[in-house]
Chains A and B, each alone.
Chain A
Amino acid sequence: MNAVLLAADGVNVAQNIGFGIIAAGMIFAALCVVSTKNVVHAALWLVVVLGGVAAQYVLAAAEFVAVSQVMVYIGAVMVLFLFGIMLTRAKIGEESGLNNKGWAIGIPVAVVLFGLLAWAVLDTYGDDTIAEPQLTGANNESTVDIADRVLSPYLAPFFGMTFVLLAAAIGAIVLARKD
């Protein structure tokens, strides 16, 4: 059933092929992130995963979220990570001892968790299909809809989030300053 699910199903064939190629690249890059012995390479593989996620957002007709993903994650968070790696003086090149002693326990945990999640997803959604997203170029108004939602029903959470960001910025400065 899995093979059938991931293969083209006759609905939006081009989208399915794009999804499959990007998904395969993302999974490979994610495995590299958690298995490479070089910290800087892990950060660069993470860029591939984050870019793949942005591409999947475009496939899911969420352009605004895709652009935010590129700006926030690939633009800002990756620079933070690279600075973090640099400031903690990671070795350039391969490094041993990046893993815990009991790291192998993670494999059965991840496999069992995936089995559970996959069972739940397939049990709930099975063969449900998604209608083709209505991409109509300049008339696509999902960004307008997002603005309407953020600035009316979700205004209070939005303000809360701004305070969280402010607190996080101040907290990061207080934690990291030297004196």
Chain B
Amino acid sequence: MLAANFLLLAAVLFCIGVFGVIARRNAVMVLMSIELVLNSVNLNLVAFALMNDDVDGQVFALFVIAIAAAEVGVGLAMVLLIYRNRRSISLDELSELKG
């Protein structure tokens, strides 16, 4: 198996995730796109572990999974708070801090 296979797949997923973050207006959809980005990074880490025949990459992937779970929890709590205060989770309407 070619080393570039996993890395190219991860690059495709990363770019789709970045597109989702830019294009989506709904905050929950943006969080889902961020999950795509985090998963592509994990795929890279596991591929590097395979290439170097070393499990350090897998350990890092596990750490990233744990942090991603924490991020989703806090992110969705913030989305709920915004929804409760504004009855909307459209990100382009959150412009109070704009100078």
Chain A interface residues toward B at CB < 8 A: 2, 5-6, 9, 11-12, 15-16, 19, 23, 26-27, 30-31, 33-34, 39, 42-43, 46, 49-50, 53, 56-57, 60-62, 64-65, 68-69, 72-73, 76-77, 80-81, 83-85, 87-90, 97-101, 103-107, 109-111, 113-114, 117-118, 121-122, 125-133, 142, 145-146, 149-150, 154, 157-158, 161, 164-165, 167-169, 171-173, 175-176, 178
Main secondary structure of the interface of B (DSSP, over half): helix
Contacts of B26 in A (CB 8 A): 39, 90, 98
Contacts of B81 in A (CB 8 A): 175-176
**Complex: A149 Cα to B17 Cα, angstroms:** 31
Give the A-B contact count at a CB cut-off of 8 A: 254
**Total contacting residues, chain B, CB less than 8 A:** 70
Complex partner residue of A84 from B5, B14, B58, B79, CB under 8 angstroms: B79
Chain B interface residues toward A at CB < 8 A: 1-9, 11-20, 22-29, 31-33, 35-36, 39, 42-43, 46-47, 49-51, 53, 55-56, 58-59, 61-63, 65-74, 76-81, 83-84, 89-92
CB pair B39 A53 closer than 8 Å: yes
